Amino acid sequence: MKKFISILLTFVLVATMLVGCGGKPSTNDTTAKNTVTKAADTKDAATEDAAAETVATEKKDIVLWYYWENENHQKLLDGIIQDFNGSQEAVSVSAKYVPFADFKKQLSIGASASELPDIVIIDNPDHAAYAEMGIFADITGKVDVSQYYDGPIASCTLDGKLYGVPFGSNCLALFYNEDMLAAAGCEVPTTWEELATVAKATTKGNVSGFAFSALQNEEGTFNFLPWMNAAGTTAYEINNEAGIKSLKFIGDMVKDGAMIKEAINWTQGDTMNQFISGNLAMMINGTWQVPTMREQVPDLNWNVAMIPTGAKDASGLGGENFAIIDNDKVDASLAFITYATSAEKVKSYIDGFGYIASRKDVAETQYQGDEVMQLFIKELQYAVARGPHASWPEISDAISLAFNEVITETSTPEDAAAKAQATIDAVLAQ
């Protein structure tokens, strides 16, 4: 395999050098022809050394940017890179850490200054914005995406063109305290109506029945979108029956005391802490909380279930994607991504990241015997990508403002939906 990849990549790179306009050959063309002729005539050791040196100079150096602070993630990524570099001789990949707070700014500055890496690992809701800017290469038809879940692939797609490959995915589900539900004589809710009833029944003293991170930012939008999608609408259409229904449902939950109002100030981490501290009976949260909960509260009786359904099942999609910068190293970068996202390779590392594989053929064999993670894998098929749209942050802000105004009762669901829709329509018209 190593020899095949090396020969294939070397052939592509050499062929690229030799292609040019008609007429007088370039200096590189002449040198290459002389080298081949000499090798054919003499086949001596000196010529073999020269040929080896020529191949070495053709090696493509690829730089990858990532923003993971997690040391284990960094080590796993380094392992993937080292394995690829050792599998062939035509491409050498190296990685650079860029803090998440600076990541998007560095990409934007780099685009204007022509100082960009060759590959990035990017948060999936940000993908479309950079594809729209022309930073990412169009790789439509160059990657087999038939084995991927719809949500992750949609996050890499803009105007019908593919601008990346999903790296790993996560999604949201309903966490519940088994003891609290049992004490209230309740079953795990499966519908909105049941959720409201169980949340009300488990709200006692210092315990609130239900919450999700309802911050007025992207984190809050991430947690609210499943309610819109489950009601039967999209992020672009909130001022309709389904959108208003989702706003009203959450607003009524707060009014009835079934959902704690303070959730407008809670991150997903805060929400988890309230849950493991015994202050919440149920919450919406993601796969990334599972390892922490198992470590911090090993004796807590909790489990997960599908997010209660409205008109249909839905979940929120998180995770990262690979994207290739549109430069003269696209083929070399694509060689690495093809290697890193192959089913065989993904199986070797994805569990270590705590992700669900974006590939169905890998996800279906993940976390065998782990019922919690198996539930998240089931939920992933219903996870909807945020956007994708180049101006997604503006759309997200309009949505998070709408549900915050409803929760705080500063606006009716109807008025909040109308105002948000006006902003969204203006963004879509740009």
Question: How many C-beta neighbours within 10 Å does residue 182 have?
Answer: 11
Q: Which two tokens stand for residue 57?
A: 């100079």
What is 2-32+61-169+318-372's CATH topology?
A: D-Maltodextrin-Binding Protein; domain 2 (3.40.190)
- Smallest CA-to-CA distance from 151 within 268, 314, 311 is with 314
The secondary element (H helix, E strand) that includes residue 231 is helix 218-231
175 and 275 Cβ atoms separated by less than 8 Å = yes
The secondary element (H helix, E strand) that includes residue 208 is strand 208-211
How far apart CA 388 and CA 136 sit, in angstroms, is 15
Q: What is the pLDDT of residues 99-127, one digit of tens each?
A: 988 998 888 887 766 789 999 999 999 99
One DSSP character per residue, 42-106 reads H--HHHHHHHHHHHHHHPEEEEEEE----HHHHHHHHHHHHHHHHH-SSEEEEEEE--HHHHHHH
The pLDDT value given to residue 109: 85
CA 157-87-344 angle, 5° bins: 55
195 and 210 Cβ atoms separated by less than 8 Å = yes
Of the chain, the end-to-end C-alpha distance in Å amounts to: 49
Radius of gyration of the chain from Cα atoms? 26
The pLDDT value given to residue 310: 93
3-state secondary structure of 165: strand
What is 171-316+388-429's CATH topology?
A: D-Maltodextrin-Binding Protein; domain 2 (3.40.190)
One DSSP character per residue, 263-318 reads GGG--HHHHHHHHHTTSEEEEEEEGGGHHHHHHH-TT--EEEEPPPBSSS--EEEE
Q: Per residue in 298-317, is it b (16+ CB within 10 Å) or e — as a string?
A: eeeebebebbbbbeebbbbb
The pLDDT value given to residue 208: 98
Question: How many C-beta neighbours within 10 Å does residue 38 have?
Answer: 15
Q: What is the pLDDT along the chain (430 residues), one digit of tens a residue?
A: 444 344 334 433 433 333 333 333 333 333 333 433 333 344 344 434 433 343 445 889 999 999 999 899 999 999 999 999 999 999 999 999 999 889 988 888 877 667 899 999 999 999 999 999 899 999 999 999 999 999 999 999 999 999 999 999 999 999 999 999 999 999 999 999 999 999 999 999 999 999 999 999 999 999 999 999 999 999 999 999 999 999 999 999 999 999 999 999 999 999 999 999 999 999 999 999 999 999 999 999 999 999 999 999 999 999 999 999 999 999 999 999 999 999 999 999 999 998 999 999 999 999 999 999 999 999 999 999 998 898 999 999 999 999 999 999 999 999 999 999 999 999 999 8
Please state whether the peptide bond connecting residue 388 to the residue before it is cis, i.e. omega within 30 degrees of 0.
yes
Q: Which two tokens stand for residue 59?
A: 């090696």
CA atoms within 13 A on the CB side of 351: 13
Q: Which two tokens stand for residue 56?
A: 């070495």
CA atoms within 13 A on the CB side of 118: 20
Domain(s) labelled CATH 3.40.190.10 in the chain stretch across 2-32+61-169+318-372, 171-316+388-429
CA 230-388-253 angle, 5° bins: 30
The pLDDT value given to residue 345: 97
How far apart CA 224 and CA 315 sit, in angstroms, is 10
Whether this prediction's pTM lies above 0.85 is answered by: no
Q: Which amino acid is at 412?
A: T
The pLDDT value given to residue 54: 37
* Pair type for strands 91-97 and 302-305: unpaired
The pLDDT value given to residue 113: 65
How far apart CA 152 and CA 383 sit, in angstroms, is 8
- Residue carrying the six token digits 């009762």: 409
How far apart CA 290 and CA 223 sit, in angstroms, is 17
